[in-house]
Amino acid sequence: MNGLSTVLIVVGLFLIGGVISFAKQQMPKSLIVLLSIGAAMCLAAGILRLEVWN
């Protein structure tokens, strides 16, 4: 596990927390969808960069 994959996974988890928080505050749905797409992309990039796939 290198540093960049760790950072991407942590940022993705942080964004998931933001999605949950924004949903509880009943923010606009488009903002929640945009944030969840960013979280999914960060998590996917972090998981795909893990060195266990070699």
- Over the stretch 6-53, which tens digit does the pLDDT of each residue have? 999 999 999 999 999 999 999 999 999 999 999 999 999 999 998 876
pTM: 0.86
Q: How confident is the model at residue 54 (pLDDT cuts 50, 70, 90)?
A: low
Cα dist from 36 to 2, 24, 28, 51, whole Å: 24, 14, 13, 25
Q: Do the beta carbons of residue 50 and residue 23 sit within 8 Å?
A: no
